[in-house]
Structure 1
Amino acid sequence: MKLFMDESGNGNASQPLIVGAVELGDDAEDIEERIQDLYKRLVARRSLTGFGSFEDFRKDGFHSSNDPTEISVPFRELMRTTFFRAYMVVTDRTSFPRNAESELIEFMYVKLLSDLLIRHRHEPEFLCYIEQSEEMASIIRRLPDAVARRARKKAGRDASLPRPNISMVAKRDYMSTAIIDYVMADVSRWLQKDRTKNPKDYAYRAFREIEPSVSMLYSFELGRISSRKDPLH
């Protein structure tokens, strides 16, 4: 079992803060290969040469906030034919008025990872890859112990839990991280539209598209918004 994680922190308090994970099963390597192959095909498109966001894509790989339509559409098509489970925790920051964004991100990583560690306690290994960033460099060193400590407190000291193996990786090396990046972007747009149910609104349609793959979307202010057992649609 492999988890690929990312966070939406950008210092903008008007946007929801999300920490998310996508779980890939035994075919994780095949999925990564499909994404890498798509990247190679798209990066060879000469018609986009010189276009700023395409040059960013060429350098950094898939990223929902930067990818032009010629990149995002085929990637979304790949996502539609890929089985994955997404888990997210989100806050609008009102529950944590005195916390810096970096503190919130660390707390949310520990919360989500400890819950997933308990969920997958029978797995032989717990591999987690987090997209590389300056903000995560100091946090990631503390995560394994903090996650294990919180999980044992919740599950009981005698519970058998795998040791979390958490690594920070560049998106170019593990492009599967782009899946959770795209999922979080769709969730963020939908939340900013007050969880609209208007099918004329793209934010609603995009959320409905990815919701079947959402195993858990939990808000610190609203509680559980959606889950595989209790979907909105």
Structure 2
Amino acid sequence: MSTTGFDDSDLHDPAGSVLVLVDESYSPFVAAAAIVIESSEARRLNADVEALYTTWRRTFYLDGLPSFEEFRRRGFHASSDPREVRSAFVDFLADNLAFKTFIVYSDGSSMPELSEKQRLMMVLDRLLRDVLRTYHGRPKVTVLFESAEDLNKYFRRVATRAATATRRHGPEVQVMFGMKREPSLLALPDYVLHVFNQWRTRQGDEPAVLDPLNFESRFFRSIEGSLSVARSIDGSRVIRRGFGIQR
């Protein structure tokens, strides 16, 4: 297992390899998402996200809107993008499901004594073990975190532990760190996790549903086709594509 910074050449690995993009959130609950892309698709999909950014940053009618100026500086960021930009990226997700999604989350109900950072590490550990077990037959798995400065050493430690626990007959695992738009693909886990969080929060303790009358469900439907599994570490709640979702 190796750990490096991101370089554009890393978007092309041996045939059969996968790129795993990871992002995390603390609100409305601690959660992490992994977007898995075949290495053969990574460059194309990265170019598509960059092209969408280039198109939208030229949108004259949003000039002067603070959230739009932030988008121009930073690229796509689901929690702060203007509504128009957010809708455009959700449309992009719906049309480009060349990836698989894994999500693990925790509302702290079963372990209230743990800090948010401790719960995040548990969430990431479960997430990465799920991914590495699913793709154990691949020649290489590259895990790319969005850099979180002081947290990077903990991310690296969790990834190393997960790789060690699942490495029997497993792939080579490389851990890397990138930043917004380096690569642009990091917008994918950011958006997918935001969409899931908003939808799951609306459900509360009720059974998961897809209600076309609310935008959280409509946005969630854009990513549902990519969903392999979303699970809570606080209980038995598991959501799989086509299962456990009432229509």
Q: Are residues 1:205 and 2:222 paired? A: no
Instruction: Please name the residue that 1:73 is paired with.
Output: 87
1:23 Cα offset (Å): 1.0
TM-score (norm 1): 0.87
1:189 maps to what in 2?
198
Provide the secondary structure at the position in 1 that maps to 2:169: coil
Structure 2 residue ranges without an equivalent (≥5)? 1-17
Contact 1:140 1:168 in 2 (8 A): no
Change (3 A) 1:231 1:174: farther
Query: Which residue of 1 is the match for residue 155 of structure 2?
Result: 140
**Shift in Å at residue 222 of structure 1?**
3.7
- Given that 2:91 and 2:222 are in contact with CA atoms closer than 8 Å, whether structure 1 keeps it comes out as no
What's 2:30 paired with? Answer: 17
Query: Which residue of 2 is the match for residue 155 of structure 1?
Result: none
Identify if the C-alpha distance between structure 1 residues 231 and 133 changes in structure 2 by more than 3 Å, giving closer, same or farther: same
Residues 36 and 176 of structure 1, relative CA distance in 2, 3 Å threshold: same
Within the candidate set 62, 77, 83, 1:48 is matched to 62
TM-score (norm 2): 0.83
**1: distance between equivalents of 2:169 and 2:31?**
29
Once the two structures are superposed, residues 109-147 of structure 1 have per-residue CA deviations (whole angstroms, 9 ceiling, x without a partner) of 121112211211111111111112235323133134211
Aligned partner of 2:182 in structure 1 is 173
Measured at CA, do residues 200 and 72 of structure 1 come closer, stay the same or move farther in structure 2, by a change above 3 Å? same
Q: Distance in 2 between matches of 1:229 and 1:69?
A: 28
What are the within-5 Å matches in structure 2 for residues 95-114 of structure 1?
95-114=110-129
What residue in structure 2 maps to residue 131 of structure 1?
A: 146
Partner of 2:6: none
Q: 2:107 aligns with which of 78, 92, 104?
A: 92
CA distance in 1 between counterparts of 2:181 and 2:62 reads 19
| Structure 1: gaps (5+ residues) | 153-158
Residue-by-residue CA offset, 1:138-161 (whole Å, 9 max, x unaligned): 313313421123325xxxxxx211
1:122 counterpart = 2:128: no
Does the CA contact (< 8 Å) of 1:211 and 1:231 recur in 2?
Answer: no
Of residues 222, 226, 229 in structure 1, which corresponds to 2:239? 226
Query: Are 1:164 and 2:181 counterparts?
Result: no
Bigger drift between 101-110 and 28-37 goes to 101-110
RMSD of equivalent CA atoms: 1.9
- The alpha-carbon deviation at position 33 of structure 1 amounts to 0.2
The Cα of 1:45 is off from its aligned counterpart by: 2.3
Please give the alpha-carbon distance, in whole angstroms, between the structure 1 residues aligned to 2:122 and 2:132.
15
Deviation string 1:171-196 (CA, Å, 9 cap, x unpaired) is 21112121222221121112212245
Partners of 1:41 and 1:220 in 2: how far apart? 40
Identity of aligned residues (%): 26
